[in-house]
């Protein structure tokens, strides 16, 4: 009886004993695994599925993110996953810089579509880490020329189904910021080299993609060799028109192998027409029109009256097909011209809809100022790369 009572007391006392805190403390759970602890190849595959618009912010997350975003491996991953995007560039000659400068259009991501804004940022930038290349497609091959300094004779080629570039035969002379165009399976390259008029120089040359050989073009006369920095080239009725930054342009006839001067109006008119979808559009001083093939007439695009007022009295710079829509670029003085030494480069993206009544309506998806530059700047050219 006594033993049972003692045992009960001992049991009660034991239950009242408080364990020290270090015995109650549970072991710390293992820290959650960081996203950055994953292999680089997995992070690259994730980044490849994200729009490039977010790259500037993602590059601030960590040094690892920034390094991967700036790497060529990310371009390869985007090619593999078919998530490439059109990257738009403009090339400007600024008065305080001896060399042309490339800017790329960055559309800032925003939750609301109507609040989207765009800006031109100088490359390299985390949105796009490399200066652009000019491309010419011949058959299933894509040829590329660097648009940078110092001059280089290099040209690269790859199959459109491959992401790996290989060296093509070098040009006869090194060139910086050359222009190129394709005609009858040949690639014509002009400008971008020092033009010493007292010596024989290679102002232009042509690459035969069948024989994989270069041939020097005859040099134009002194009055036509306006500048080593050319705006762009274009093909009109089998002839190559070369736009300059000077008062005259020139034209080269491959059949006669001769150069001649041409009026700027002829070249400018050919540039005013842009095909978006299956229709041609033309932006003029006061309107945007579309070409109706059924009645062979230009008709007014409806719904763009407010946009027309924005650039009708300004300098229309360029109209480009971009992502299946029309990108319009113009400039204006930042303040009244008399007191202003700066211009603002503006841009707008317009989508089109052809309605059952035979009319075409345009919708401005966004429109804003993108870059402030000295008023004496010179617009040179644009490029669209797929990255």
Q: What is the pLDDT of residues 328-381, one digit of tens each?
A: 999 988 777 667 789 999 999 999 999 988 899 999 999 999 999 999 999 999
SS3 of residue 35 by DSSP: helix
What pLDDT, in 10s, does the model give residues 302-325?
999 888 777 655 688 889 999 999
Q: Kindly report the average pLDDT of the chain as a whole number.
A: 84
pLDDT of residue 157: 97
Q: What is the mean pLDDT of residues 6-18?
A: 45
Which one, of 212, 194, 215, lies nearest residue 203 by Cα?
A: 194
User: Is 138 in the same domain as 63?
Assistant: no
pLDDT of residue 9: 37
User: Is 251 in the same domain as 186?
Assistant: yes
Range with the lowest mean pLDDT among 262-266, 276-280, 380-384? Answer: 262-266
- Give the rounded percent of residues in the chain with a pLDDT score beyond 90: 56
User: Is 200 in the same domain as 135?
Assistant: yes
Listing DSSP states for 48-80 in one string gives TTS-GGGHHHHTTT-HHHHHHHTSHHHHHHHHH
User: Is 155 in the same domain as 60?
Assistant: no
SS3 of residue 339 by DSSP: helix
**Alpha carbon 361 to its chain's center:** 27
Domain CATH code at residue 150:
2.120.10.80
Tokens of 108: 């800032």
pLDDT of residue 340: 79
Domain boundary among 84, 119, 148: 84
Asked if residue 124 has a cis previous peptide bond (ω within 30° of 0), the answer is yes
User: Is 56 in the same domain as 145?
Assistant: no
pLDDT at 8 over 50: no
Give every CB contact of residue 278 below 8 A, 6+ residues apart in sequence. Answer: none
User: Is 134 in the same domain as 244?
Assistant: yes
Domain boundary among 245, 265, 285: 265
pLDDT of residue 227: 54
Residue 192 lies in a domain: yes
Which one, of 109, 55, 60, 62, lies nearest residue 78 by Cα?
A: 55
Residue 63 lies in a domain: yes
pLDDT at 16 over 60: no
Residue 97 lies in a domain: no
Residue 110 lies in a domain: no
Q: In the chain, which residue ranges form alpha helices assigned H by DSSP? A: 2-16, 21-24, 40-47, 55-58, 63-69, 72-81, 264-271, 305-311
Listing DSSP states for 143-200 in one string gives EEEE-SSS-B--EEEEETT----EEEPPPSS-BSS-EEEEETTEEEEE--S---TTS-
Q: How many domains, in total, are found in the chain? A: 2
d(CA 302, CA 360): 6
Q: 323's torsion region: left (phi>0), alpha (psi -120 to 50) or beta? A: left
Top pLDDT among 207 and 287 is at: 207
What pLDDT, in 10s, does the model give residues 19-75?
555 555 666 666 666 667 788 899 999 999 999 999 999 999 889 889 999 999 999
pLDDT of residue 140: 94
pLDDT at 287 over 50: yes
User: Is 73 in the same domain as 143?
Assistant: no
User: Is 139 in the same domain as 42?
Assistant: no
User: Is 143 in the same domain as 197?
Assistant: yes
Domain of 249 in residue numbering reads as: 130-265
Domain boundary among 210, 236, 265: 265
d(CA 112, CA 117): 11
d(CA 89, CA 104): 4
Evaluate whether 168 touches 143 at the Cβ level (below 8 Å).
Answer: yes
Residue 211 lies in a domain: yes
User: Is 151 in the same domain as 75?
Assistant: no
Tokens of 151: 């001059």
Which one, of 351, 383, 384, lies nearest residue 367 by Cα?
A: 351
pLDDT at 108 over 70: yes
User: Is 78 in the same domain as 148?
Assistant: no
Residue 163 lies in a domain: yes
SS3 of residue 268 by DSSP: helix
Residue 59 lies in a domain: yes
User: Is 222 in the same domain as 154?
Assistant: yes
Top pLDDT among 101 and 19 is at: 101
Q: pTM, whole model, 2 decimals? A: 0.85
Residue 365 lies in a domain: no
Top pLDDT among 9 and 135 is at: 135
């Amino acid at each position: 009886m006594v033993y049972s009572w003692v045992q009960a007391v001992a049991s009660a006392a034991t239950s009242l004993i408080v364990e020290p805190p270090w015995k109650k403390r549970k072991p710390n759970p293992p820290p959650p695994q960081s996203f950055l602890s994953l292999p680089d190849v997995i992070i690259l595959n994730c980044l490849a599925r994200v729009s490039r618009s977010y790259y500037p912010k993602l590059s601030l997350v960590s040094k690892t993110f920034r390094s991967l975003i700036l790497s060529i491996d990310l371009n390869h991953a985007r090619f593999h996953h078919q998530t490439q995007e059109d990257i738009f560039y403009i090339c400007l000659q600024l008065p305080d810089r001896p060399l042309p400068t490339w800017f790329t259009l960055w559309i800032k991501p925003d939750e609301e579509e109507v609040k989207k804004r765009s800006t031109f940022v100088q490359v390299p930038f985390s949105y796009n880490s490399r200066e652009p290349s000019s491309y010419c497609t011949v058959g299933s091959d894509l040829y590329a020329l660097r648009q940078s300094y110092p001059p280089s004779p290099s040209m690269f080629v790859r199959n459109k189904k491959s992401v790996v570039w290989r060296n093509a035969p070098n040009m006869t002379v090194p060139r910086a910021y050359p222009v190129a165009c394709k005609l009858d399976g040949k690639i014509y390259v002009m400008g971008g080299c020092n033009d010493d008029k007292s010596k024989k120089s290679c102002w232009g040359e042509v690459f035969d993609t069948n024989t994989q050989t270069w041939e020097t073009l005859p040099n134009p006369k002194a009055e036509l060799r306006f500048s080593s920095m050319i705006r762009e080239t274009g093909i009109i009725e089998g002839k190559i028109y070369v736009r300059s930054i000077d008062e005259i342009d020139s034209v080269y006839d491959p059949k006669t192998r001769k150069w001649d001067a041409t009026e700027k109006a002829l070249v400018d008119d050919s540039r005013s027409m842009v095909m978006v979808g299956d229709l041609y559009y033309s932006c003029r001083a006061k309107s945007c029109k579309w070409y109706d093939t059924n009645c062979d007439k230009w008709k007014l695009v409806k719904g763009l009256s407010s946009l027309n007022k924005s650039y009708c009295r300004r300098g229309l710079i360029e109209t480009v097909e971009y992502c299946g829509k029309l990108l319009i670029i113009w400039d204006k003085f930042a303040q009244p011209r008399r007191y202003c030494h700066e211009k603002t480069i503006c841009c707008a993206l317009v989508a089109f809809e052809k309605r059952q009544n035979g009319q075409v309506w345009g919708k401005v998806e966004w429109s804003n100022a993108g870059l402030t530059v000295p008023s004496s700047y010179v617009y040179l050219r644009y490029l669209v790369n797929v990255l």
